[in-house]
Amino acid sequence: MTTSGKIELMAPAGNFECLQAAIDNGADSVYFGVEQLNMRARATNNFTLDDLQEITDRCQPKNVRTYLTLNTIIYDHDLSIVKTLLKKAKDANITAVIASDQAVIASARAIGMEVHISTQLNVTNVETVRFYSLFADTMVLSRELSLRQVKMITSQIEKEQIKGPSGNLVEIEVFGHGALCMAVSGKCYLSLHSHNSSANRGACKQNCRKKYTVIDQESGFEIEIDNEYMMSPKDLCTLDFLDQVIDAGVKVLKIEGRGRAPEYVATVTKTYREAIDAYDEGTFTKEKVALWMKELEKVYNRGFWSGYYLGQELGEWSDISGSSATQKKVYVGKGVHYFPKAEIGEFKIEAYDIKKGDKLLITGPSTGAQELVLEDMMVNDLVSEEATKGDSVTFKLPFRIRMSDKLYKIVEA
């Protein structure tokens, strides 16, 4: 449960780079998968059981809450793994588990672990909220609800004083930004039928993101769909009506993207952090929204729409297979050494040239995703304004780098 009056900003963590990026850019909480029993089992690296303690060690000092996603369909042969995973999470002081299967919910409650109801359970009315309040303190509503419907549910929670196991009022969480799919809250069988790879076990093959042709079986007449990606919705974005989302009584805003890059996590988290803070300070304006939207457009996206929240005409489909981002990263080189007293980082240029004034991105498991503009640098121990493949480069950095860190140049897409 949240402790402050602000809406909680939850960011995705597909690996340690993304986890650190979320922490550094103002997330109140992070959610992540461990091993295979989560809805992004094959879309990202995921963490291991041995990583749980480090996740807590990084997050607790920053007062960032940690949520384990354990929300796939669970079969009998999974039950022992579920119990092992929950015990490890409990021992590592992970804050809560996001669950949809009754066995997971029951197992978590049996060991006193906080439960959040996943969107996979399609909570769409207050009666369902009342039922699950027996087990859970937070509920992720179905993605198909309008803000008016969300407000009706949060108002009833307040009016009826519906409380979870913690004794506090049940909190409502919604998706605020990121990928949407054509299925009802993610329940899709396309990739199961086409590739024997179940989306409901975290193994979606993303059939809906591809181009299709319709063929008349009798005549063989073929039609290419005008909108080439007619099953691929644009990405959800609530930033331009975030004030309405907060006013609807939502307590947790979730950013989708456990399969996305650390710079995506950094940019989106930072942008929504600024927007939430501006709302609380009474400085949330159209002018600021326009600037924030420009920032969001820089990282991976399929175009933006408001989803189902505003009750507008539905079906805003993407017209491309990949990203509409206005910027992209190109690999430059890798970290070599950091000189802490001088605050200087050393890199080996392996691929792409860089020059003074370039916008750079440095990513790493401990570094997260850090952006900077290159001002002055030394190339092979000489002052220079440009470096090429094979060069050793040093420049001023206010943060430590490691040998595992990667250096990128950010360019216009």
The closest alpha carbon to 30, from 75, 79, 66, belongs to: 66
Burial, 75: exposed, middle or buried (Cβ in 10 Å; 0-12, 13-18, 19+)?
exposed
**Quick one: pLDDT at residue 325?**
86
- Strand 377-379, strand 368-373: pairing: unpaired
Give the model's pLDDT for residue 116. 98
| Helices marked H in 113-181 | 126-132, 147-160
Cα 385 to Cα 376: distance, rounded to the nearest angstrom: 7
Q: What is the pLDDT along the chain (413 residues), one digit of tens a residue?
A: 554 568 999 999 999 999 999 999 999 999 999 977 765 555 556 799 999 999 999 999 999 999 999 988 899 999 999 999 999 999 999 999 999 999 999 999 999 999 999 998 999 999 999 999 999 999 999 988 999 999 999 999 999 999 999 999 999 999 999 987 766 655 666 666 666 666 555 566 666 666 667 677 777 776 555 555 556 678 899 999 999 999 999 999 999 999 899 999 999 999 999 999 999 999 999 999 999 999 999 998 988 888 889 976 655 666 666 678 889 999 999 999 999 999 999 999 999 899 999 999 999 999 999 999 999 999 999 999 999 999 999 999 999 999 989 999 999 87
Residue 132 pLDDT? 97
Strand (E) positions, 25-142?
Answer: 29-33, 65-70, 96-99, 114-117, 138-140
- Using an 8 Å Cβ cutoff, are 173 and 69 in contact? no
Q: What is the pLDDT of residue 235?
A: 87
Single out the residue of 317, 316, 319, 374 nearest to residue 349, CA to CA: 374
Q: What is the CA radius of gyration of the chain?
A: 23
How far apart are the C-alpha atoms of 107 and 84, rounded to whole Å? 10
3 state DSSP class of 268? helix
Judge whether 306 and 236 are in contact, CB under 8 Å.
yes
CA dihedral angle for residue 384, residue 388, residue 390, residue 392, rounded to 10 degrees:
30
Q: Residue 397: its pLDDT value, please? A: 95
What integer pLDDT is reported at residue 139 of this predicted model? 97
Q: How far apart are CA 115 and CA 97, in angstroms?
A: 5
Q: Encode burial over 212-229: b for 16+ CB neighbours within 10 A, e otherwise.
A: eeeeeeeeeeeeeeeebb
362, 410 contact by CB (below 8 A): no
Q: CA of 247: how far to CAs of 125, 195, 211, 413, in Å?
A: 18, 43, 39, 36
Greatest CA separation found in the chain?
76
Q: 158 pairs with which residues across the strands?
A: none
Instruction: Record the pTM.
Output: 0.84
Give residue for tokens 């952090």: 273
CB 336 within 8 A of CB 396: no
**Nearest CA to 52 among 9, 100, 74, 84?**
84
Report pLDDT for 212: 65
